[in-house]
Amino acid sequence: MRNRVQHSQRHAPDPDLAGTDEAAARSEGSGGVQSVDRAVTILEILSRRGEAGVSEVAAEIGVHKSTAFRLLGALEARGLAEQAEDRGKYRLGFGVVRLAAGVAARLDLVQQSRPVCRRLAEEIGETVNIAVARSHFAINLDQVRGQAAVTAHNWVGQPTPLHATSSGKVLLAHLDERRRERLITAAGLERFTPATVTAADELRRQLDEALRRGYAVTVEEYEIGLNAIAAPIRSHEGEVVAAVSASGPAYRFSEERMHELAPVLVAGAADISHRLGHAG
């Protein structure tokens, strides 16, 4: 991998959006951001205080009571706030739990995978990463360096292209065809090195091969001199929710070496999946 990602192209301003329409858009955008900021602040107030009345909320965020009441009503409609019995006070609603579940799932994935990643990094000797799909990128959530990895870039939190990384290929391979094609179309098949796959038919062939093998490899496709291999991680329901990868310099972590170590990585992925409740 490398220290940057080419993000989606910036679109030129729409020439039709001018004059009154443009002014209205600016006004609406400014007001929308302010409302979002106030709503988030209210959630923070309720989290800190436990309960708070309309007057207390209004005073703390510096708005009229009617504005605070309207914002609380919007949060209540979404289940993010609720009235505490008949006392006229508000508290956080259970909708917050629903939102937090997404973060909790990622935290659980990292916690459950960490000991396995340490073991894999020791056995393979290279850098091991856990990645999930977000939008049309693969995002690395955790990284463990192997003994042989004297220096390695920290990829945690970095978006990387799905079509040019081993984790990305694994995540793409296990999507239904319609969603897979949508993501490929949205991201495009940008060339990062001479070895990057930029033909859709070739990428589809490699994704089918990854399904048959149970793992995917990339040979200097995202960064010259860097190879990687990845295997799928499944949830308790059997859905592929992440990928575990091992990456290293091409002179040491050759394509032949990756295929030799594939059973070790696949077994590690199965171990993580088991820790997440997958019975397969």
CATH code of residue 69: 1.10.10.10
Position 14 in a domain: no
The model's confidence at residue 27, banded by pLDDT at 50, 70 and 90, is very low
If asked whether residues 213 and 269 sit together in one domain, one would say: yes
The model's confidence at residue 34, banded by pLDDT at 50, 70 and 90, is confident
Position 8 in a domain: no
Q: What is the mean pLDDT of residues 101-117?
A: 77
CA atoms within 13 A on the CB side of 166: 31
If asked whether residues 67 and 160 sit together in one domain, one would say: no
d(CA 233, CA 128): 14
Which comes out higher in pLDDT, residue 273 or 6? 273
* Average per-residue pLDDT for the chain: 84
- Last-in-domain residue among 67, 93, 119: 93
> What number of other Cβ atoms are within 10 A of residue 250's Cβ?
16
Q: Is the pLDDT of residue 53 over 60?
A: yes
- Asked whether 167 and 247 are in contact (CB, 8 A), the reply is no
Structurally, how many domains does the chain consist of? Answer: 2
Q: Which domain holds residue 30?
A: 19-93
If asked whether residues 149 and 241 sit together in one domain, one would say: yes
Q: What is the mean pLDDT of residues 177-194?
A: 88
The Cα-based distances of 25 to 21, 30, 148, 202, 269 in angstroms read 6, 8, 54, 43, 48
If asked whether residues 143 and 64 sit together in one domain, one would say: no
pTM confidence score: 0.64
> Which of 22-31, 46-55, 91-100, 150-159 has the lowest average pLDDT?
22-31
If asked whether residues 246 and 158 sit together in one domain, one would say: yes
Q: Is the pLDDT of residue 215 over 60?
A: yes
**Orientation of helix 19-49 relative to helix 65-77, angle to 10°:** 80
- Asked whether 91 and 48 are in contact (CB, 8 A), the reply is no
Position 280 in a domain: no
If asked whether residues 135 and 159 sit together in one domain, one would say: yes
If asked whether residues 54 and 115 sit together in one domain, one would say: no
SS3 233: strand
Question: How large a percentage of the chain has pLDDT more than 90?
Answer: 50
If asked whether residues 211 and 233 sit together in one domain, one would say: yes
